[in-house]
Every structure is written in C-alpha cells, then in structure tokens.
Structure 1
C-alpha cells in the first residue's frame, strides 16, 4: 500500500467515525496549548492553582457519564482532583482523558499524543491510579462543610489554637497570585504555619469579608473587599482534618466571580 492509499484510508476512517477525528483534533490542539502553558509557567513565579468555579457554573446536565465524570463531577469539579490533573504531564493527561472519557483505543491515543500504544497504556493507568486514589479520600459534603465553617469561625476570632486543631499536622497551603498580587511563593507546610499564614492574610486586609460559599462544588471561603471578590479559598478535608488549603488571589482567575 502506497502513501496516498494510506492517507485515503485515514481520511475515510475520520469520515466514517467523525467523533474520533474531532476528538483527535481537539486533543492535539489541547497538547499544543499545554506546551505553550508550560512555557508560560517557567516565566511566572510562585504556585499555580486551577481557576475556582462558582456554584452557578458547576451544574452538570443529567446525561450518562463515565468513571472520570463520576469522580470529578459527582459534586462538580473538585479542586483536589483538578490539582492532581494539573500535576500530570500533557501526554499523561491526554492519555487518561482520551481513554476514560472518550473510550479511544491505545492505538488511537498513540497516534494523537505521539507515543507507542504500550506507553499510552502505562500513562493512562498511572494517571487513573492517582485520580482514583485522590477520589477515595474525599470527605462527605456535610463533614466538609462543618469543618470549613469551624475554620471560618476560628479565623473571625483569631483563635490560632482552634485553627491548628482543625488542620492535619502536615497540612499544606498553596497560594496563587499569578505574579499580579502578593502571594506566598512556596508552599506553607504544617498546621501552625498554615493557621498563622491564613490569619496573617486576613489581618493584613481587615476590610476583607470571608463568607462561606460553594467553590468547585464544595464549601469554601470567598474573600470580598466591599463587593469585589479578591480571593477564593478551597479546602481538602480528610478524616475531619483539613489537609490542603488553596488560596487563589490571581485576579485573572477571579473574573467569573466578579461578573454581575
């Protein structure tokens, strides 16, 4: 079979199964965007967190979903799982999504991401393990809300002891200012350091009002200066202790919160 015949067969396959062709094109565009974003990350300082999503934007249509949807969209897009996906390489993320959400074969995935089928199988398997492991650690919504509510109350009173009691000993805080507003450049690790950091943020900006609100489908804190949202805090709770605090201060990631 010559090169022209192979090309014609490939085109015929795309026409016969148009969704496969469209999926491949979309995946390649995403990989190009990932490569561009990875370059931009090298130019930025500090941590990068996913954009927090208001409740009105997390409604999921009642349509059949695959395993990934049940994990990430069961209570909308959870920040913890989004952070896990953000940590994957572009190829691993693409292999995982194309396999789990679109049911492409590993041969089809290999043609999209530029790896051999066996490598794509390994990438998808490793990514799935990380996502599934994180998903099993999610706390029930009512427990999550109770812990975050207590966290906010302790912040209001400036009670460091109470804050520390709500945090896991190895709790970690990440803050994302996008290089546009002041934020911690490195992770804040440990319960007491996390507690004092969060209190410091609020004490430095006494006009900020912290309100409980749904963030990515889980109860979080929205920081407002008058009517403008200047920060969004989301949490990961495990065994009734806060293990992760994610503070987004980057104004570019808060646009959806400030729309009228």
Structure 2
C-alpha cells in the first residue's frame, strides 16, 4: 500500500509533464490522454525498487507507449488500400471531430515545437519523431532516448539530427509554400479532381505539353478525365508539385513548369529509384503558414 501511494503521488506530481510529452509526440489530445492512462497501468504494475529518478522513469514509460502508438498508426496507414485519406481540414474551419486537436491545441503544439514541425510531423518515422521531440523540446539526453528505442546514443543523435533537418527544410521552404506556383498547382489539382475542363484550360498555356500529349486543349481533356484525381499537393525538394501515393509510398510525382502564370509543361516521374531520393512534404490544401 505504501509503495502504491508513493507511485500515485509521483505520477500525480509529474502528470502535466507526461501529458505534454504524449501530446507533442502524438499531436492529438485524445491519444495523449490514452497514452498517459496506459502509462499509469504500466507504472502501477511495475517494480519501483530500482527507481532513482521518478521523472525520468515516468517519461521513459510514456515515451515507449507513444512510440508503440506511432508505430501502430504508421502500420495502419501502410496497410490501408484504395484512395488516400482526405486531407486535413484547413485552419479556417471552426469545427473539429472529437479527439482531434482544436485550434487552441494546435497553437500550443506549434508554439512548443515550431510551425515547421506541424507540416512535417507525420512524415517523420516514429523513432525520428521520438528522438526529436524528447531531445529538442524536453531536453532528454541521447543516452536516455537510445535506451527507449534500443539504439546507441550516437544513433539517437543521428535520428534527432535527421528530423531536425526536415523541420528546418520545411521552414526554409515556407516561402515556396505560399508562392504563386503553389496556388497554380493547387488550382490545377482542384480542377482535375472535379473534371473541370474549362478551369484546366484557363490554367494551361495553349502549347502545354505532358509527355506525348501536346496542346492546352488535349492536356485539359487528359486531366479532366481525372487522371490526377488522387494526387495531393506537396513540396518536392522544396518546390510545389503533386504526388500520388499508394499504401503510403509515392508512386508518381507531377512537376510543373510555369511561365507568365500558365502551365507550359507537366512531367510525371514514376521511377521508384528516383522517387526514393526525393524529399516530399505533403501540404494541406488552402492551408497557409500559421
């Protein structure tokens, strides 16, 4: 009973921090609450005889729970077949489904880890995400992080560094995300999904080219037949483009050449080797930098 009381007191003492760790790891207040509850179940069954640093021990347990949840989330995405999931709602919408972050929650997360991470959060592997958040946000040592993910401190440092480069790259690409090219690509995708021949024709140069298809009318007819229906807006190596994925893996990248506000050429790259070398960050339609 004494040990259980001690556990309850330590858990209550650090609960706010544990919830903060879980929220910044998972990006969802509902999942964060689930993670903290699961952590308490593990803590309540644990042997505390060797615990010298309760705060660090509890953080480790929560981090491991979050890592499992991130890996399960990633597996579900890779296993899902068919059309891509709908793009997340833009910040203009005031309603949000239960369990998802409200605008206030999103603002808290953005303030903690930076706006750039909001863009790339779901592109990081679970291990990268854990290493980056624990080290850069909560100042957990790479030795402790390595123990959580069964890696060496050096490997944990490399994971955090890789994630940090992605975040910094997204921040550096923020101007491109707001550029006129992004607006044109976004409008093109919307018109293609809707089969809007007239809107496509308005966006295309009269001499536009896509592979063997030449001329604005022919290209508009091609994409009006919903050839790019499942493509999503993205930054590819920092440049606005479109990407079609299947089972979580990019299968085709559409790059756009634009001159004087008109699309003059669309190149479609389907080479698996080439696609693996690209830095792809999916964007939310109509979502400007917050």
TM-score, structure 1 length as denominator? Answer: 0.48
Bigger relative contact order (CA 8 A; separation at least 6): 1
User: Max radius of gyration: which structure?
Assistant: 2
Calculate the TM-score normalised by the size of structure 2. Answer: 0.44
